[in-house]
Amino acid sequence: MGIYRSEIADLRKNIGENIGQKIIIKESPGKRSKPQEKAAVIENVYNSYFRVKFEEANRVGSYNYTDLFTRSVEVSMYNGENYEPLVQPQLEVKKTRIQHEVVENS
C-alpha cells in the first residue's frame, strides 16, 4: 500500500480551495491519551503540508498531507451549518506478484 503523488495533489487542491475555512482538527497525542479536537482556520497550503491558525490561542500549526492518509490527524470542515469530515481519496491496494504467490502456496 502506498500513497501516490496524484492522491496528495488532489488532497492539496481540496484543502487549497478552502483557505480561510473553519475546520476541526482531531489528533491523538499518544497511544493512551484521549484524542484532542482543536478549532482552526486553514491559512495556507504548500507542496507537502498545510498551515492552520488555531482559534483558541493566537498560534499556527502545520500538518503533512500524509498525516491525513494515515489517519493520525482527522480534519472536519465547516459547511455553513455543521462540520463534515474531509473527503479523502481511497488508497488503492496493489497486489505484488510475491504476495499473490504466497497466498497460493498457503
| Alpha carbons 87 and 79: distance in angstroms, whole number | 13
| Alpha carbons 43 and 50: distance in angstroms, whole number | 8
CA atoms within 13 A on the CB side of 7: 16
| Alpha carbons 83 and 15: distance in angstroms, whole number | 15
| Alpha carbons 8 and 63: distance in angstroms, whole number | 13
- Containing structural domain, residue 14: 5-105
- Residue type for position 104: E
Q: What pLDDT is stored for residue 68 in this prediction? A: 86
Total domains present in the chain: 1
Q: pTM of whole model > 0.75?
A: no
- Residue pLDDT tens, the chain, 106 long: 466 778 888 889 989 999 999 999 998 777 777 888 999 999 999 998 999 999 888 899 999 988 888 888 889 998 888 888 886 555 555 555 555 555 555 5
**What's the CATH number where 13 sits?**
2.30.30.100
**51 within 8 A of 41, measured Cβ to Cβ:** no
